[in-house]
Every structure is written in C-alpha cells, then in structure tokens.
Amino acid sequence: MTDEAAARVASHRLRARWLVVALAMLALAMAAGMLFGAKSLPPSDVLRSLVGSSSHGKQPLDAVIVRSIRLPRVLLAGLVGGVLALAGAAYQGVFANPLADPYLLGAASGAEVGATIAIAYAPAAWSVNSVPVAAFLGSIAAVAAAVVLGRSVRAGRSTTVLILAGVAIAAFLTAVETYVQQQHQAAIRLIYSFILGRLGTAGWSGLKLVLPYALVAAIVILLHRRHLDVLSLGDDEAASLGIRVARVRLILVAAATLATAAAVAIAGTIAFVGIIVPHTIRLITGGSYRTILPLSIIVGAAFLILADLVARTAVAPAELPIGVITALIGAPFFVVLLRRSRVVAQ
C-alpha cells in the first residue's frame, strides 16, 4: 500500500475548512441579530447589557431589550433554523428524495390543525397557552398516522407508500383546518399568523420548550449519519449490507418529527429552511450526510437568524412574517445556486 493509496481512501469526514466557514457565518449572524433591531442601540450598550454591568445609571430599558427580547429571539431563531435544516436533511436521506422536507409526512398540517382548534375552541380562561401544546400534539399525531397508514399497505415501495400516506393525511387535515376556520372567521387572523411563523413572542420559555427535543433529535440523527449514507444507496442495497432499513427509517423519522413538532409548536410553520439549507450544503460539499448533517444545523441556524433580522427590521416598527422572508430570500438564492451547479439532483 503506497502513501498515495492511503491518501486516496479517507473516510468522509467533516473538513475543518467548511466547519470554520459555517461557524463564522453563525457568529456573524448572531452578532448582527444582537446589534440591530427595531430600536437602535449602540454596540457598546448591547455588549454592556449582555455582560451584565448595566447598573450605573444606564437606562434599564436597553438591558431589557437586549436580554429579554433580542437574545432569546436570536437563540430561538438559531435553534428553530438548525432543527428544521437538520430534520430536512434527515428526511431527504430517509426517503432518498431531494424534495423531502420536515413537513413531508404532515408535521406542518398537523400542527396547523392543532393550533387552529386551540385558537377556535379553547376557553380564554385557561391559564396555560394551549396553542403550542395543541400544535405539538397535532404535529406528532399527523406523522404517526401517516406512518401507521403507510405500514399497513403491503404493496409498492415502502417510501413511496409512506409519502403518499403523508399526502393523504395532510390533505385531510387541511380540509379540517379550512372548515374550522370558516366556522370561526374571527380567529382567522390569529391562525394565519401561526401558519406564517413568528419568533417574537416565545422568549426564554419558548427556547426552553424546544431545546430538549432539539438536543435529543440532533444526537439521534447525528449518530445515524453513516446509516443515512447507506440508505442513499437504495433499500435493497442497504438491506443487503445488513441494515434493517424499516427500523432505521422509523427511528430517524421519529427523531426528526419530535424536533420539528417542537419547533413548529413554538415558531409556527416556517417554510423552506428544511429544503434549501441541506441542498445548498450538498451542492457545495458533496453527497455525504457526515458533512451535510452537522453543517445543516449550523447554516440553518445562521440562515434563520438573518431571515428573522430582516423580518423585524425591514419595515420596523412593524414586522414581516418570517416565513415570507425565508422564501423571499431563499428561493432566488437557491435557483442561482442550482443554475451555477454542475451536479443536478436526480
């Protein structure tokens, strides 16, 4: 074995160069997210508020803005963006389908129905906010129904059947949602704002709710990074390599769905992050999930922090819905990237 041969076959590892670039992007995005906002604050004040030495005569309002509004909002945007991008990458691998996103099996429509029902029917007297709980449960229930439905059909390729089951569930739930909305016209504005996504109202408590699910999902999915590479060979080959394809698929769908449901329950159904971020990384770094998964988390976080920054500053003091921004920036960028790229997704 020559040295040249030894250099040829290297395991697909995350290259330091890409990791540094991604982390730099995230750092810049976080800095921008902290420094800019509806109220303009000098950078020195932001820094002083963050490190906590705001006690000598400074306006406490600035510290409140930085610590209770901007910081949790930036962190939540990062967390939700990272979760959606990671879940999207996992779904694309699990289904060997470049069009897959975290909402493929009905996670979004389930959350929307849950939120819609909670907004329309929950008594205003309830002390807890029932919307995120209902959205979370609706999201999980929709995907579980799609999986159960998909597994009950014996014919056809299992991934195709599962995707079709997800389509059927989503269509059914959308009909339910529309019906409830028609019955409760007054609630439509609230429901609409949930669907378009928002990061501004959740604060630290929202962050705490999403974090455990995001951590569990990230650990489970990252531990399966090699399995996702094997699954990209196709079901037969993965099985002939000794992988229990159906079980691995179920584990990954469960992990991705749990995190997606938590993110959606707090931040609404933010579109496009889960599809554009993993694809951008794939086009730049190549086809191994050992690179795509970790970079998706970092770049997804940076992307949503920046999108949220645009959403809250572009027409300040009003806010644009973040889902509008992700698609408005994301779609053209993605098209440019696709056109410049030599590799075309099959």
Partner 1 sequence: MTGVELVDVGVSYGERRVLHGISARVGAGEWLAVLGPNGSGKTTALRAVCGLVDFDGDVIVGTTSIRTMHKRVLARSVALLPQHPTAPVGMRVSTYVLLGRTPHLSYFAQETDKDRAVAERVLDRLGIGALAERDVSSLSGGERQLTMLARALAQEPSILILDEPTSALDIGHQQDVMEVIDDLRRNDGIAVISAMHDLTAASQFAANIVMLSRGHVVASGHVGSVLTEERIKEHFGASVRIVQDGAGVVVIPVRTNGNGSTGAAR
Nearest CA to 112 out of 187, 214, 213, 223 is that of 187
Measure Cα distances from 222 to 59, 90, 240, 289 in Å: 44, 9, 23, 9
Q: Using CA atoms, how far apart are residues 331 and 78, in angstroms rounded to an integer?
A: 20
Q: For residue 100, give every residue at least 6 positions away whose Cβ sits within 8 Å of its Cβ, in sequence order, or none.
A: 88, 91, 92, 94, 163, 275
Selected from 24, 215, 336, 345, the binder of partner 1 by CB under 8 A is 345
66 or 256, CB closer to partner 1? 256
295-330 burial by CB neighbour count: b if 16+ within 10 A, else e? bbbbbbbbbbbbbbbbbbbeeeeebbbbbbbbbebb
Q: Using CA atoms, how far apart are residues 280 and 292, in angstroms rounded to an integer?
A: 9
| Residue 156 near partner 1 by CB under 8 A | no
8 or 189, CB closer to partner 1? 8
First to last CA, the chain: 36
Selected from 230, 259, 277, 325, the binder of partner 1 by CB under 8 A is 230
43 or 234, CB closer to partner 1? 234
Which among 132-140, 176-184, 225-233, 303-311 is the span making contact with partner 1, rule CB under 8 A? 225-233
| Residue 343 near partner 1 by CB under 8 A | yes
| Residue 154 near partner 1 by CB under 8 A | yes
Selected from 51, 124, 318, 344, the binder of partner 1 by CB under 8 A is 344
Q: Tell the smallest beta-carbon distance from residue 225 to partner 1 (Å).
A: 9
Residue 185 DSSP symbol: G
| Residue 152 near partner 1 by CB under 8 A | no
Exposed / middle / buried, residue 69 (Cβ in 10 Å: 0-12, 13-18, 19+): middle
| Residue 279 near partner 1 by CB under 8 A | no
Q: Please list every residue from 5 through 44 that binds partner 1, using CB under 8 A.
A: 5-6, 8-12
Do the beta carbons of residue 254 and residue 62 sit within 8 Å? Answer: no
Selected from 211, 232, 254, 310, the binder of partner 1 by CB under 8 A is 232
Selected from 240, 314, 331, 336, the binder of partner 1 by CB under 8 A is 240
Which among 49-57, 182-190, 233-241, 257-265 is the span making contact with partner 1, rule CB under 8 A? 233-241
24 or 345, CB closer to partner 1? 345
Selected from 57, 126, 185, 236, the binder of partner 1 by CB under 8 A is 236
Total binding residues for partner 1 by CB under 8 A?
36
45 or 235, CB closer to partner 1? 235
| Residue 233 near partner 1 by CB under 8 A | yes
Do the beta carbons of residue 120 and residue 83 sit within 8 Å? Answer: no
Q: Which residue has the tokens 């995120």?
A: 132
Residues binding partner 1 (CB under 8 A): 1, 5-6, 8-12, 96, 154-155, 223, 226, 229-230, 232-234, 236-237, 239-244, 282-283, 285-288, 343-346
